[in-house]
Amino acid sequence: MSVIYQRVALIGLGLIAGSMALAMRRAGLAGEIVGYARTAATREKAAEIGFCDHVYDSIGAAVTGADLVVLCVPVGVMGALAAEIAPYLAKGATVSDVGSVKRAVIDAVGPHIPDGVHFIPAHPLAGTEKSGPTAGFAELFDGRWCLIVPDDGADAAAVAKIESLWQGMGSKTDRMEADHHDRVLAVTSHAPHLIAYTMVGVADDLARVTDAEVINYSAAGFRDFTRIAASDPTMWRDVFLNNKDATLEILGRFTEELFALQRAIRKGDGAHLHDYFTRTRAIRRGIIEAGQDTDVADFGRVHGENPGESTAEDK
């Protein structure tokens, strides 16, 4: 592929930014890739790995001259960082983000975008429970969806350009309206993460997790929950605080279903349980048929060449 953006500035240098830089490099999509991170430790690690051509300790210097700026930080700080970069943005540049929540990010970032600068939010549905600059890998987005969330008045050429960037990084792309995005992700990602956090928290409350028996004999279900519950606390705090309504709506429905299953167990209603589990099994089959997972019984174990491969999941 050929160069799509001359200078890409990545703001925040963790799992997603690192993976973007490596995926852009792999396909030669950017003339120059530069980065900014707030802490010296992250900047030094990113410079050592070398996925950026230059790592800045000044956000203004990183953004200056960029034709694409991507916010790769927790969603709760995107508004404040957008205000900081605004004076340095060049006319005609595009600002995008990779946040797991879209409406709150649009409301926080949008007002800071100067006239003549495009703002085109995006969300790659790919990630792992690892974070920081060492967690990135070039294949993270391969075959995964990236949802592009432009508003009605967005510049068509700028939208097409960022779509081609994500496609060049290996993603399949789709466009989605922000509120719809947040409702879909509440079901597919945000509520499941909260449930995983809760289950691991319950086990911890029962003080059994630290027992060697529970660790040694932890069955696949619990082990999968612990992997998800190891995800970055700041990122997930911000996801729940910024997708409050949709997550609470899904958790309300979840609680109703849980009560119904609880009742079926108490009453010995095996038919209810069997019907329910048959329905859910079909959903798993659908995900495999759609190519969004493999039919390998991996229980979180690595089968691919890359350590992140088998755990890549939608966030």
Chain positions contacting ligand NAP, by CB under 6 A: 12-17, 37-39, 42, 72-75, 77, 98-100, 124, 127, 131-132, 135, 232, 235, 239, 315
Task: Calculate helix-pair angle for 244-267, 233-242, nearest 10 degrees.
Answer: 100
Query: Between 16 and 194, whose beta carbon lies closer to ligand NAP?
Result: 16
Strands (E), 20-144: 30-36, 54-56, 68-71, 94-97, 118-119, 122-124
Question: Taking the complex as a whole, how short is the minimal distance between the CB of residue 77 and ligand NAP, in angstroms?
Answer: 4
**Token pair 């606390």 in the structure block, residue:** 233
Instruction: Quote the least distance from Cβ 72 to ligand NAP, whole Å.
Output: 5
Could you give phi then psi for residue 137, rounded to 5 degrees? -150, 150
Which 3 state secondary structure label does DSSP give 303? coil
Whichever of 75 and 149 has its CB closer to ligand NAP, that residue is 75
What is each CA distance from 199 to 16, 111, 225, 245, 276, in whole angstroms? 27, 39, 7, 22, 21
Q: Between 122 and 158, whose beta carbon lies closer to ligand NAP?
A: 122
* Cα 66 to Cα 89: distance, rounded to the nearest angstrom: 7
Between 40 and 297, CB nearer to ligand NAP: 40
Measured from the CB atom, the residue of 118 and 190 that comes closer to ligand NAP is 190
User: 275-288 as b/e, with b when 16 or more CB fall inside 10 Å?
Assistant: eeeeeeeeeeeeee
Q: Closer to ligand NAP at the Cβ: 132 or 255?
A: 132
* Amino acid occupying residue 311: T
Residue with smaller CB distance to ligand NAP, 15 or 159: 15
Q: Helix 244-267 vs helix 178-185: angle between axes, to the nearest 10 degrees?
A: 30
For residues 138 and 126, the answer to whether their CB atoms sit within 8 Å is no
Q: Minimum CB separation from ligand NAP for residue 260, in Å?
A: 31
| Closest CB 294 distance from ligand NAP, rounded Å | 19
Contact yes or no for 122/162 (Cβ under 8 A):
yes
